[in-house]
Amino acid sequence: MQLNVLKNYPLSELTTFKIGGAARFYVKAESTDSVYDSIDFAKQHGVPFYVLGGGSNLLVSDKGYDGVIIHMSNTETETRTDGESVYKTCGAGVVWDNFVSECVNENLFGVECLSGIPGTVGASPVQNIGAYGQSVDNLISEVTALDATTGDIVKFSNADCKFSYRKSFFNSEGFGQYIIVSVKYILKRTGKPNVKYHDLEKYFLKNANITLQEVRTAILKIREYKGMLQMEGFRGFKCAGSFFKNPVVSAAHFDNISDIINAAASARNWYWPIANSSEVKVSAACLIENCFGKGFRTGRVGLSPNHTLAIVNYDDATFDEVMDFAKQIEDTVYERFKVTLDREVQILR
């Protein structure tokens, strides 16, 4: 096939951070064949490649990227019903929230709490995206990927994906080798909306008759209030959503952290014991807020005034300014709590 390769392609407008230089080469990949050909092009020119989805979890260097950007843009979809289960297979380039909206409009249960998450379908298994009591590890039936080393198409079952908190086979052992081209999800035709998360319980005040559309509307309003929404018609910030993951600590370490947090008397719902484990997941936002407070700012970079997990590009900040600010957050949290914050945002340079 004829590959349309663009040179010196600006990347800043392809990310929600709105930061970054140009890519040496850029391909809009609208099919599996174009993905394969893009990889072959990169090999022929002796340069690396990077697979880009919605750019919502990415910070790009101002120096740009000296390789091939493969922009996943395949948007084919297929729906199959089997009793109470509905199987939806989506191309990696499908906008995630469009998929969620479609499911909610069709009154399909299982994905409603993942409304408003930016990015594309192809990224959902990589990060095992989750929010408000739901995550895709409970929805994914199969992932189809291209093996970049062999050119083979490989199908992964749910178990093959090795899902855990914000982690999967695709961002660990398989990182860089497998490019996701489509994902198959299982939705249910009957059920009850998931409103167990504390923000939703507070929003609905334990109303028993809640529709999927009402849950979606609530999620969008909550995410907008927190400044985590990247959708037209809603208020948002130039950021990549949650910059850091919630850390998991031992029970003994948690007790030390708890003493500090409780002494400050400034947090509720900030930790989640892990089932069948002595470990505890702790809110990174709570730790950061305890050190800095919402809206803390240094020059053109700062924390969101609504949610401390979001680092915001307030005024045409540079890549280095964001990285320096992130390190300041990490160093201070470690000094106070002895917790290392892992970055959820991917860095491209």
Would you give the distance in Å from CA 279 to the centre of its chain?
A: 23
Catalytic residue numbers? 166, 242, 344
Which residues face 156 on adjacent strands?
A: 143
Q: Is the pLDDT of residue 30 over 70?
A: yes
> Which range of residues forms the domain containing residue 132?
77-225
CATH number at residue 66: 3.30.43.10
CA-to-CA distance for 256 and 27, rounded, in angstroms?
50
Q: Is the pLDDT of residue 233 over 70?
A: yes
Q: Which residue has 């400034």 as its token pair?
A: 266
Widest CA span of the chain, in angstroms? 64
Residues 173, 308 within the same domain: no
CA-to-CA distance for 38 and 49, rounded, in angstroms?
8
Q: Is the pLDDT of residue 252 over 80?
A: yes
Cα–Cα nearest to 188, from 108, 79, 130: 108
The DSSP code for 132 is T
How many domains in the chain? 3
| Confidence label for 266 from pLDDT (cuts 50, 70 and 90) | low
**Strand pairing of 85-91 and 77-82?**
antiparallel
**pLDDT value, residue 132:** 87
**Which of 66-70, 271-275, 339-343 is the least confident region?**
271-275
The reported pTM is 0.90
| Confidence label for 265 from pLDDT (cuts 50, 70 and 90) | low
Average pLDDT, the chain: 93
Cα–Cα nearest to 341, from 223, 247, 211, 226: 247
CA-to-CA distance for 119 and 100, rounded, in angstroms?
12
Residues 39, 115 within the same domain: no
Give the tens place of pLDDT for each residue, 160-218: 999 998 899 999 999 989 999 999 999 999 998 878 777 777 778 666 678 999 999 99
Q: List phi, psi (to 5°) of 89.
A: -105, 125
CATH number at residue 119: 3.30.465.10
- The stretch 150-165 carries a mean pLDDT of 96
- Final residue of a domain: which of 40, 55, 72? 72
Residues 155, 46 within the same domain: no
